[in-house]
Structure 1
Amino acid sequence: MGHSEVIVLDGHSLSIEDIVKVARHNAKVELAPEALEAVERASDLVHEWASGNDVIYGINTGFGDLATVPISRKDRRQLQENLLKSHACGVGEPFDEETVRAIMLLRINTLIKGHSGIKIATLQRLTDYLNMGIHPMIPSQGSVGSSGDLCPLSHLAITLLGIGEVFYKGRRQPAQRLFRKLGMSPLNLEAKEGLALNNGTTVMTAIAALALYDGVNTLKMADIAAALSLEALHGVPFAFDERTHALRPYRGQMTVASNIRRLIAGSQIIEKFKSERVQDAYSLRCMPQVHGASRDALDYVWDKVSIEINAVTDNPLIFVDDRVAISGGNFHGQPIALAMDFFGIAMAEIANISERRVARLVDSSLSGLPPFLIQESGLNSGFMIPQYAAASIVSENKVLAHPSSVDSIPTSANQEDHVSMGTYGARKGRTILNNARKVLAIELLSAAQALDFSILLKPGAGTKAAHHMIRKAVPFLKYDDYLYPLIRRVQELMDRSEILHAVEEAIGPLD
C-alpha cells in the first residue's frame, strides 16, 4: 500500500505516528538538509582522528573488553567490517517487514543528529533502502539490550557491505545479488561507521513504538467489548457515574467511564434492568479502574518511547564544537526495558478482565442467559470452548508478563556486566498485546451473541453500531457451527479498525 506523505528526518521531531506511516504504509523519507551539515562536520572530525594517534574508543581501539587493544592506522577500516561480521550472529525467525522498516527509520533518525560520525553517503543508502523497499534480513533473537541492539543492528548494517541477506519485493536473497541486479555498489565503511550503525536501542524501540500504537487502539476496543458485555449481561450503569470518578481523578479511569457512558447512551436494555440490583461483579463494575490503569500505563510508555525515538543512543558520542568523543552509556536499554515490561503487564490485565466477562456470559447461573449462549444446550455446546481458548491465552500472558528487565547476565568478559534485556521485553510485550486482541475478539463474538437474546430492546448508540458491524461479518448462531473462522473474522474487523470506525461514526471519537 503506497503513501503519498514524505517524512523529513531531522533527529528531533519524529513521532510514533510517523513511524507507523513509514513502517506500515510505506511513506517516503527525506533527510533534512540542515541536519546533514552536522552529520558532515562529525564525519570530518572522525576522519581527522582516524589519521592521528589519540586513543578514541571504537576508532582506533577494539570493542567491549577489547577496548584497551590499539588498532593500527592501516587496519582501522577493516576494524569496522570485522565488527559487523562478528556481531551479525542472530538466531531465530527474521523480524517482519514493518519492524525492519521501523528499525531502519529510527537508525537514520538517531544518526542524523550528528553525534555518531557516520558519512552522509551511508545515511543516504539506508534512506534509499526504505524508499525502495529493501529490507535487511534481521533475526529476531540475539540482543541483550545493552550495548544497545548490537547483534540485530549488525545484520542491518552488514547488508550495506553487500554481505548478508535482504528481502525485496517479497523475495529473500543475498544482498550482493540484489545490488548487482539494481546496479548498486556495496559501501566501504570508514572509521567509527560500523559502531555508529550497530550500537543503540533502535530495535527494542522500533518494536515498542509499533506495539504501543496498536495498544492504544486496543484499549478503545476493550471499552467497546466491555460495553457490549455490560448490556448483554443486563448490567447496571451506576459504576460509571461521573461523580464517582471525579473523586479519584486518574485520567485513564475518567476516560473509560466516559467512554462506557457514551457507548451505552440511550440503551433500553440498561434502562429496563437497572432497578434489578445496585451493583455488578467487579469485571463489569470496575472496568474504569482496570482499563483506566492500563491506559495510564500506556501514557507512561508513550512518553518514554517518544523520547527514545529522537535520542542518540550509540557510543562514543562525538561533540564537534568541543572536539571530543565521550564514552558513556546511552546505549543501555533500561528505560525501554522497564516501559515495555509495564506495557506487557498493562495489556495482560486487559485480557484478564475480558476473559472474566466471557466466563460470566457463558455461565447461565450468573448471566440469566441460555447456557453457553445457545438454544438447546446439551445437544449444542455453543460458546463453551471459546472461553477455554480465552482462558488458555490469558494463562500464557501471565507467564509472559514476568518482567525481563529484572534479569541481567554479564557479557564481554564482565566489562558489560549489567544489561537490560529490553529487546526481549519489547518482543514479549508485543506478543502479550496480540494475545489480548485475540481474547477481545472472543469477547466481542460472545457478547454479540448474548446481546441478541435482548433483541426486542434497543441497545446503546455505540454498542448498537459495534453489534451491527460484527453481525455484518458473523451470523447469530442458532446451533453449533465451526467457530474458528468466526473468531478470525472478528479479529480481522479489529485489525482493520472497522468496529472502532463504526462506533466512532455513531457517537464521535472515543478518547
Structure 2
Amino acid sequence: MDTPPHVSRPVPVPAPTGVVVLDGRSLPVADIVRLADGAVRPVPDADAMKHAEHSWDTARRLAASGRVYGRSTGVGANRSEDIPTEAAADHGLRLLRSHAGAIGDPLPAREVRAMLAVRANQLLAGGAGLRPTVITALCEALVAGAYPVVHEYGSVGTGDIAALAQLGLALAGEHRWQGSGPAPAPQALDNNDALALISSNALTLGQAALALDELRRLVNATELVAALSLLAVDGSYEAYAEPVHAARPHPGTTAVAGRMRELLGAPGRPTPPLGRIQDPYGFRCLPQIHGPAHDAADALERTLAVEINAAAENPLISPDDLAAYHHGGFYLAGLSLALDHFRLSLAQVARLSTSRLAALNEPAYTRLRPFLAGSEPASSGVMILEYAAGAALGDLRACSAPASLGHAVLSRGVEEQASFASLAARQTLRVSEPYRLVVGCELVAAVRALRQRDLRPDPELPVGRAFALAEAVLDVEHADRPLTDDVTSAAALLDTFGTMTFGELARVTRGTGTA
C-alpha cells in the first residue's frame, strides 16, 4: 500500500519498553526525555481525560453564548473582530493555516517528539478546552513513532504558535507526518480547537528539557575529568575539605566538594601536600564554579516541572466557574531567565576546563615535557588542544548571551513584549556540542599526562574506574600526530561518565576487561 501524501517514508524509532502515565500534574523532565527517545509509551490518566472532556464541553458552551478570544473572535490585533456564526466552522482551520508559517530547517525527531509529549500532558491539566481526542492522537503518534514536520523559527517566547499550528494541520490531515509508524487518524478541528491547541510553549519546554538532561550529565562528567587532571598534577585536596565549605555553606558548592572527595577517595580533612602552597583556580575554585551550575540546573528543572504540568492556555477554561479567563500565563519570562542563568553558569564551568588544560601543558605542574610532548626534540604534543578548546569555548560563549534581553513589538502593538524563551532553549541545546569538545580536550590531556607519569589511579575509586574506561578508548601513541579522533572518542565517553553511578561504572569497566 502506498504511503499517504501527508506521511513521509518510515524512519526507525525504538519500540517503547515501559509506560508513563500522563495526568497533567506530575510529569517530570526525565520522562519527557524518555518519551522523546521512544523508550516509554504514554498513557493518559482516566480522571485527567474526564477533566479535559469537561473543559471542552465548558469551552463550547462559553463560545456559543459569549465572546471568547480565539473561539468567537479573531486573535492578536483582530481580537475585537467577532466571528459570525456561519463562519465559525471554518475559522479554526483558517487560523491554523495562517499561523503554520514556521520557517528554517525542519527540527530533529527528538525535539518534535518532546513537544508532542509536553503538549499532551499540558492538555490533561484541563485548562485548554480542547477536544480530548487530540490528546489520544498525540499519544498514538508517540507510540507509533510518527511526528509532524516542524520548522525551527516561529516563536518569540509568547507561545510556540507556528510550530503548534503545523502540528494542528498535521492532526487535521493537511500537513506532512514523518517517522516510522502510521500517523493518527485526521481530527475534525474547528473554531473551538485551533487556538486551544497552539496556545502553548510546548516546543520550547521540550527543547529545554532535552538540553537540561544532556548538560547536567556533562557537568557531572566534567568533575570526573577534573579529578583525573588533579591527580596528573599532584593537586591538593584542601580545596574540597569539609571545614572550607562548612564555613561558607552554599548548597551546590558544598555538594560538589563532597562529590570530589568521593571521586578521589579524599578525607574530609586532608593533610596539606608538600611542595606548592596552593593550586591554580582550575582545581582550587572548582566547587565555587561547578556549585552554581548545579544550583542553576536545579532551578531550571523546578521551572520546567511547573510549566510542563501547567494549564497556561489563553484563555484559561475553568469548568468550576463556567468561565474563560483571559490572561498572560503563556509568557515565559521565568523560563527564559532560568535558561540564560544555566548557560552562563556552563560558560564558567567550560572556561575552568581550559584552565586545567593549560596546567596540564605546563612542566611546572606535571614535571613532564611542555605540552605533554613525546621524545622528539621540539615536539608539540597536545599544544593544539588549547587552541581547539579555545575555539569551541568561543562558540559556547556566543551561545551564552542572554536571550531574555531580546525585545519585540508585534501584531500592531497589542503584543508589546517578548520573553524569547524559545531562543534561550535553542541556544541551550546548541551549547552541548562545544561544551563536550572543550572537556574532551581536557580528558585527552589528563589521560596522556597520567600515562607519561605512569600513574594509575586506584581502580577501586570512581576516578580509577573512569581512567580505565578512558585508557581503553584513547590511543597510547605520544608522538606528534592529529588528535581529532582522540578528542572525538573522549567527548563521546562523557555521556558514560555522566550517567553511571559509581557501582555501574565499575561493572562496565570489568566488562571491557580493563579493570
Structure 1 length as normaliser, TM-score? 0.91
For residues 42-441 of structure 1, what are the structure 2 equivalents within 5 Å? 42-52=55-65, 54-146=66-158, 148-169=159-180, 185-265=185-265, 274-376=273-375, 378=377, 380-441=379-440
Q: 1:126 to 1:104 in 2, by over 3 A?
A: same
1:469–1:499 Cα contact (<8 Å) kept: no
1:28 corresponds to 2:27: no
Contiguous gaps of at least 5 residues in structure 1: 171-177
CA distance in 1, matches of 2:96, 2:39: 27
Q: Which amino acid aligns with 2:81?
A: V
Contiguous gaps of at least 5 residues in structure 2: 1-13, 508-515
1:348–1:433 Cα contact (<8 Å) kept: no
Bigger mean CA deviation after superposition, 254-263 or 58-67: 254-263
1:245–1:254 Cα contact (<8 Å) kept: yes
1:408–1:419 Cα contact (<8 Å) kept: yes
1:227–1:260 Cα contact (<8 Å) kept: yes
For residue 477 of structure 1, report the CA deviation from its aligned partner: 2.5
2:127–2:312 Cα contact (<8 Å) kept: no
Q: Which amino acid aligns with 1:78?
A: D
2:52–2:125 Cα contact (<8 Å) kept: yes
Structure 2 length as normaliser, TM-score? 0.91
For residue 378 of structure 1, report the CA deviation from its aligned partner: 4.8
For residue 404 of structure 1, report the CA deviation from its aligned partner: 0.8
For residue 93 of structure 1, report the CA deviation from its aligned partner: 1.8
Deviations 1:196-235 (A, max 9, x none): 1111121111111111122222221111011111111111
Bigger mean CA deviation after superposition, 65-74 or 361-370: 361-370
**1:174 corresponds to which residue?**
none
CA distance in 1, matches of 2:43, 2:502: 37
CA distance in 2, matches of 1:456, 1:442: 19
What fraction of aligned residue pairs are identical, expressed as a percent? 30
CA distance in 2, matches of 1:21, 1:458: 35
Partner SS state of residue 134, structure 2: helix
For residue 138 of structure 1, report the CA deviation from its aligned partner: 1.0
Bigger mean CA deviation after superposition, 210-219 or 14-23: 210-219
1:354–1:439 Cα contact (<8 Å) kept: yes
Partner SS state of residue 357, structure 2: helix
Deviations 1:16-48 (A, max 9, x none): 111122112431111111111111112112222
For residue 185 of structure 1, report the CA deviation from its aligned partner: 4.1
1:10–1:31 Cα contact (<8 Å) kept: yes
Deviations 1:305-345 (A, max 9, x none): 11111111211011112111010011111111111111111
CA distance in 1, matches of 2:506, 2:244: 23
For residue 353 of structure 1, report the CA deviation from its aligned partner: 0.5
1:486 corresponds to 2:499: no
Q: 1:3 to 1:201 in 2, by over 3 A?
A: same
What CA RMSD, in Å, does the superposition of the two structures yield over aligned residues? 2.2
Q: 1:377 to 1:320 in 2, by over 3 A?
A: farther
2:120–2:138 Cα contact (<8 Å) kept: yes
CA distance in 2, matches of 1:232, 1:38: 60
1:229–1:447 Cα contact (<8 Å) kept: yes
Q: Which amino acid aligns with 2:179?
A: Y
Q: 1:217 to 1:111 in 2, by over 3 A?
A: same
How many aligned positions are there? 491
For residue 368 of structure 1, report the CA deviation from its aligned partner: 2.8
**1:455 corresponds to which residue?**
454
CA distance in 2, matches of 1:22, 1:260: 33
CA distance in 2, matches of 1:129, 1:506: 35
1:238–1:278 Cα contact (<8 Å) kept: no
